[in-house]
């Protein structure tokens, strides 16, 4: 089982949802950089469960304990290791999943892959709980990036059929980035919050769940980062984003909409502005030939509905080898999109710092 990412800055995530704890080891961070730990905790709080009706009622403080790599708040250059204790587990809720895998979840594939030895409690290592240490890693990496003028922000682009406004593709204000970075329900247009919450509540009351999309931007990154073909910026970011549970799609710039356009519509014209080459539009999302062009990197990620729902579902019994009906117990998010926003920001930070 490999849960590592990166080559220049390498993260390795460990733990299980209902184990004693979860954590991350980060290799390659620059010695001497001073981390604002309060800002790290702000990002951890945005992802933490148990604070909103759109999320699981499981309450976890998600306070990272640094075991190595930091003296005071200064990076030492040694591997940075942080552990987050699991304090509110109810493993008995998952007893029936040992035999009957949840539709839409990793239970069956993990059962096959790991010879029925995988920890099923709370999803084990496949749980969205494992995104907490990723947010820690991203919170550190983004501070290093910000010292170089590179900023990252994301927002809830949609929940179900309810949509937020989109980022301006060519210029994204720092004040908006700061606002989104501190929000637990990150929106550009705050009037979208109520209908989004209503959509989540409708799903919850129906013992169901609902998905959505997240839009993310990277500003302040110069032209020239990335490599053609297999090490292109899109691929580097996509690999990190697909490490987040429930992500099922990604598109950069106009994405699939480009397939409906002509070249005269999709091409981003160049011009000089204040002595710098820019594009007047940004249909390609700030990337050409796998290399940054100096415009904001913009992408959207599709988040599937939470597979653990309370409605009876059809499955199989792996022991009796018969068809079966499954009723899932436990505490689950009716919509994971709001809590996934800081996670997408975090994996983007880890991806971008590796490009640097």
Q: Is 306 annotated as a binding residue?
A: yes
Q: Is 304 annotated as a binding residue?
A: yes
Q: Is 10 annotated as a binding residue?
A: no
Nearest to 4 by CA among 31, 26, 28: 26
Q: Is 79 annotated as a binding residue?
A: no
Task: Give the contacts of 91 (CB within 8 A, at least 6 positions apart).
Answer: 18, 121, 122
Q: Is 211 annotated as a binding residue?
A: no
What's the CA gap between 222 and 277, in Å, rounded?
Answer: 11
Q: Is 105 annotated as a binding residue?
A: no
Environment class of 299 (CB within 10 Å of its CB; exposed 0-12, middle 13-18, buried 19+): buried
Task: Give the contacts of 256 (CB within 8 A, at least 6 positions apart).
Answer: none
Nearest to 168 by CA among 213, 215, 214: 215
Q: Is 18 annotated as a binding residue?
A: no
Can you name the residues that pair with 243 across neighbouring β-strands?
none
- The structure tokens listed for 247 are 């992500």
Environment class of 184 (CB within 10 Å of its CB; exposed 0-12, middle 13-18, buried 19+): middle
What's the CA gap between 8 and 215, in Å, rounded?
Answer: 26
* DSSP conformational letter for 188: S
Q: Is 155 annotated as a binding residue?
A: no
Kind and range of the H or E run holding 210: none
Residues 356, 148: contact at Cβ < 8 Å?
Answer: yes
Per-residue DSSP letters for 278-299?
Answer: EES--TTTTEETTEE-SSPEEE
Q: Is 321 annotated as a binding residue?
A: no
Q: Is 286 annotated as a binding residue?
A: no
Annotated binding site: 47, 53, 125-127, 289, 304-308, 331
Task: Summarize the annotated binding site for FMN as residue ranges.
Answer: 125-127, 289, 304-308, 331
Binding residues for NADP(+): 47, 53
């Amino acid at each position: 089982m490999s849960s590592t990412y990166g080559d220049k800055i390498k993260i390795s995530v460990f733990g299980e949802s209902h184990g004693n704890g979860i954590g991350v080891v980060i290799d390659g961070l620059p010695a001497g950089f001073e981390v604002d730990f309060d800002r790290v905790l702000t990002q951890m709080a945005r992802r933490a469960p148990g604070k909103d009706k759109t999320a699981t009622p499981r309450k976890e403080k998600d306070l990272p304990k640094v075991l190595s790599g930091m003296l005071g708040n200064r990076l030492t250059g040694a591997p940075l290791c942080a552990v987050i204790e699991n304090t509110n587990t109810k493993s008995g809720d998952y007893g029936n999943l040992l035999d009957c895998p949840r539709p839409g979840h990793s239970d069956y594939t993990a059962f096959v892959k790991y010879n029925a030895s995988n920890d099923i409690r709370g999803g084990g290592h496949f749980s969205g709980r494992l995104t907490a240490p990723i947010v820690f890693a991203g919170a550190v990496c983004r501070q290093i990036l910000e010292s170089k003028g590179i900023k990252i922000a994301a927002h809830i682009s949609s929940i179900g059929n309810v949509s937020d406004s989109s980022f301006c593709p060519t210029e994204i204000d720092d004040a908006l980035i700061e606002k989104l970075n501190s929000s637990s329900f990150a929106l550009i247009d705050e009037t979208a919050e109520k209908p989004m919450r209503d959509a989540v509540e409708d799903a919850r009351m129906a013992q169901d769940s609902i998905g959505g999309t997240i839009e993310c931007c990277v500003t302040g990154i110069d032209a020239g980062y990335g490599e053609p073909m297999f090490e292109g910026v899109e691929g580097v970011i996509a690999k990190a984003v697909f490490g987040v549970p429930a992500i099922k799609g990604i598109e950069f710039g106009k994405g699939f909409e480009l397939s409906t356009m002509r070249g005269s519509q999709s091409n981003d014209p160049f011009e000089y502005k204040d002595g710098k080459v820019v594009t007047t539009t940004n249909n390609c999302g700030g990337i050409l030939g796998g290399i940054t062009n100096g415009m904001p990197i913009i992408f959207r990620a599709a988040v599937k509905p939470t597979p653990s729902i309370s409605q009876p579902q059809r499955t199989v019994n792996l022991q009796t080898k018969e068809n079966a009906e499954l009723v899932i117990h436990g505490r689950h998010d009716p919509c994971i999109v709001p809590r996934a926003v800081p996670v997408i920001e975090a994996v983007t930070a880890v991806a971008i710092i590796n490009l640097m």
